[in-house]
């Protein structure tokens, strides 16, 4: 019985040989594990992105699909070292024993490698989350890149439109400058046309008078009185020319009206009434002050001996009398006016006539009435030495201190001097006390006004 068992039992096992085969299997397993690690490393970094050189616009920042493939490969090998291989190269009895021993070895090693496996699983999960985040970032980056492309396209369109607009603006500026030049030319032509029209009317009037007188006197000779009338008419031939001088050097109507607005405050302080305290403007010229007073609801009339100016004012609907200013003042009753004004007239008068003008002004003013006279300021060297003489009818400039003294001496009270119209700042120099003094004498006020009240 015993012999049969021995004869029919399993073949005798060579333990030494079995252990050698197990050692070979373990060594081979180690080689496979090393090969697996190397494969993981090669697979993970086969297409490693170069972060030192960022991709050009339009290329992905990271190859997400490659990372996903690497992660899937790692997840498929998380059980390495936890299962026994079939060991098919062993014979069946030895294979069973080897598998049994392998299970024991794996079981015993599991107490050592459990933390490593848990770490590997955690790392894989973390990498999965990282890849998910990278996918989101890649999507956002793509969207932003598309937005950037659209923005650049929009900016390009805007720049193109701005370039076109700049070109249009430049064309408009050129057109405006051309129109301004044409406007100035039209203004000059209108001024010349008005002067020619007025001069023509005056010549027609003179010619008509001459022909009428000639018709009456023929065949009789002209009387001395007729010759004096004709001589006086000859003096008026220069009136049109003088009006053109005013238009050329005095300034436009708009400029003069703007300068005269400063005097409206003094009229309001005097409490002028439209009916009871009328204004008389001596030497009213083109009527800028009359127009300004009328716009303020005040009653103002003018007087001037230049027929051209008188006609221009009357054409605009202003109340103007053709007369010598002193003769007209002498014909007015005492205390009949609320204000007497004269802008750039007193420098046209001889000294005796100036005294008479002030005396008559004080006489015709009501108590509380105001007198305003504006004249060039000779304390400005450029005005006194040059600009004053642009008008050939000027007699002599009057210093403000002298004018203030004359006004007070002839009966005006509360007399004050108002300096006006200095040169623009662009004319002035700076840098020293001498420069300030230079500006005061050369670029200071070009005009001044003497303002007084009758008590």
Per-residue model confidence (pLDDT) at position 2: 41
Per DSSP, the three-state class of 342 is: strand
Per-residue model confidence (pLDDT) at position 402: 97
Per-residue model confidence (pLDDT) at position 340: 97
Sort residue 431 into left (φ over 0), alpha (ψ -120 to 50) or beta: left
The domain locations on the chain are 10-47+56-151, 251-453
363-393 as b/e: b if 16+ CB within 10 A: bbbbeebbbbbbbbbbbbeebbeebbeebee
Distances (CA, A) of 411 to 107, 115, 346, 355, 363: 133, 120, 17, 11, 9
What does the DSSP assignment read for 118-142?
HHHHHHHHHHHHHHHHHHHHHHHHH
Q: Which fold has domain 251-453?
A: Rossmann fold (3.40.50)
Beta bridge partners, 447, equal 376, 420
**CA 116 – CA 249 distance, rounded (Å):** 104
Query: Cβ–Cβ contacts within 10 Å for residue 95, how many?
Result: 16
Q: Of all helices (H) and strands (E), which one includes residue 343?
A: strand 337-343
Per-residue model confidence (pLDDT) at position 364: 97
Q: What does the block give as tokens for 16?
A: 């030494």
Per-residue model confidence (pLDDT) at position 135: 79
Per-residue model confidence (pLDDT) at position 138: 79
| Average pLDDT for runs of 10 along the chain of length 455 | 41 58 65 58 49 43 67 65 59 69 70 69 76 80 85 84 86 85 79 70 66 63 58 59 71 90 92 83 95 92 92 94 96 96 96 97 96 97 93 93 97 96 92 92 96 95
Task: Return the closest-CA partner of residue 264 out of 230, 232, 298.
Answer: 298
Per-residue model confidence (pLDDT) at position 157: 82
């Amino acid at each position: 019985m015993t012999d049969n068992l021995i004869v029919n039992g399993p073949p005798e096992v060579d333990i030494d040989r079995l252990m050698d085969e197990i050692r070979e299997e373990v060594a081979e397993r180690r080689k496979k594990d090393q090969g697996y690690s190397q494969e993981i490393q090669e697979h993970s970094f086969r297409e490693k992105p170069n972060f030192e050189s960022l991709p050009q616009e339009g290329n992905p920042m990271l190859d997400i699909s490659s990372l996903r493939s690497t992660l899937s490969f790692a997840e498929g090998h998380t059980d390495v070292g936890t299962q026994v291989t079939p060991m098919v190269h062993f014979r069946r009895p030895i294979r069973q024993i080897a598998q049994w021993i392998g299970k024991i070895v794996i079981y015993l090693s599991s107490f050592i490698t459990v933390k490593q496996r848990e770490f590997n699983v955690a790392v894989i999960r973390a990498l999965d989350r990282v890849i998910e985040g990278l996918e989101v970032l890649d999507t956002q980056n793509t969207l932003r890149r598309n937005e950037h492309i659209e923005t650049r396209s929009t900016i390009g369109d805007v720049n193109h439109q701005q370039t076109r607009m700049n070109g249009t603006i430049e064309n408009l500026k050129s057109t405006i400058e051309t129109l301004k030049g044409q406007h100035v030319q039209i203004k000059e032509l209108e001024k010349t046309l008005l002067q020619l029209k007025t001069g023509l009317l005056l010549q027609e009037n003179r010619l008509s008078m001459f022909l009428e007188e000639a018709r009456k006197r023929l065949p009789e000779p002209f009387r001395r009185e007729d010759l004096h009338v004709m001589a006086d008419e000859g003096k008026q031939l220069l009136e049109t020319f003088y009006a053109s001088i005013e238009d050329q050097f005095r300034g436009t109507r708009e400029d003069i009206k703007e300068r005269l607005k400063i005097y409206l405050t003094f009229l309001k302080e005097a409490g002028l009434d439209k009916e009871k305290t009328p204004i008389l403007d001596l030497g009213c010229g083109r009527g800028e002050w009359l127009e300004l007073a009328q716009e303020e609801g005040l009653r103002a009339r003018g007087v001037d001996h230049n027929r051209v100016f008188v006609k221009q004012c009357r054409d605009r609907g202003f109340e103007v009398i053709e007369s010598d200013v002193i003769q007209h003042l002498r014909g007015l009753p005492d205390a009949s006016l609320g204000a007497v004004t004269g802008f750039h007239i007193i420098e046209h008068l001889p000294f005796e006539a100036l005294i008479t003008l002030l005396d008559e002004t004080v006489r015709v003013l009501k108590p509380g009435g105001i007198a305003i006279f504006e004249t060039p300021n000779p304390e400005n060297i450029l005005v006194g030495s040059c600009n004053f003489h642009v008008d050939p009818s000027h007699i002599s400039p009057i210093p403000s201190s002298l004018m203030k003294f004359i006004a007070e001496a002839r009966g005006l009270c509360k007399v004050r001097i108002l300096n006006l119209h200095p040169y623009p700042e662009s004319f002035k120099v700076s840098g020293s006390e001498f420069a300030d003094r230079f500006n005061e004498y050369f670029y200071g006020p070009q005009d001044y006004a003497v303002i007084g009240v009758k008590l």
